[in-house]
Structure 1
Amino acid sequence: MDPIELNGLRPIQETNISPERSLKGSSPSGESFADMLTKAVGSVDQTMKESEQNIQSFIAGETENVHDVMISMQRAQLSFQMMVEVRNKAIETYNEISRMQI
């Protein structure tokens, strides 16, 4: 078996990308970049809400496991930091493209 096949990659001759699909700005799964960003922001929001719920239940005395609360807080913090970094890269890319001479 070819090492390229092990990684799920195919040679260029076998790819089947139509010009219409590549011009639409969507991925092979049919999902646009805006849809992916919307899902990612929704996921971060859900993680933050779950963390807040865990904190509230800990404060109310409904749960005594502080480790789960801390893990959910760290997960929410890391996902938020990742979202901010993606935003920063997108803004940096936009600024760089806008400075290009045509």
Structure 2
Amino acid sequence: MEVLRVSSPSLPFVERKTEGAPQGGGFAEKFWQALEEVNALQKEADQAVLEVALGKEENLHRAIIALERANLALGLAVQVRNKVIEAYQEIMRMQV
């Protein structure tokens, strides 16, 4: 399963490159990097399962470990997304 990146024109408030930003990048940049890593783990797990199914790989443990790593990474990404949404909703409820 491939995670597709949402392009910034649909989200104009998210700036990918800002001047004066810290060298490590902002939250948005770190978030995109983390999603790319999750995507890479998902692809690795898919490839490991395919190799086991085709008989190219006899070590089933490698495929199971790859699947669990991908599952944990996806679960973490979902939890971070949920926390970001909760924070956004809390900010929107604030009285000005």
- Name the TM tier (shorter chain): 0.7 to 0.9
CA gap of 1:71–1:30, structure 2 versus 1, over 3 A, is closer
Deviations 1:31-53 (A, max 9, x none): 12111111010000000000000
Q: TM-score, normalised by structure 1?
A: 0.72
Amino acid at match of 2:93: R
Which has the greater radius of gyration? 1
Distance 2:57 2:33 in 1: 30
Larger RCO, structure (CA 8 Å, separation 6 or more): 2
Unpaired runs of 5+ in structure 1?
1-23
Task: Establish whether residue 37 from structure 1 lines up as the match of residue 31 from structure 2.
Answer: yes
2:73 corresponds to 1:73: no
Cα deviation, residue 30, structure 1 = 4.0
**Per-residue CA shift, 1:25-81, capped at 9, x if unaligned?**
84x434121111110100000000000000000101001001111000000000000
Structure 2: which 5+ runs fail to align? 1-18
Aligned length: 78
* Misfit runs of 4+, over 6 Å: none
8 Å contact kept, 1:44–1:80? yes
Return the TM-score normalized by structure 2. 0.76
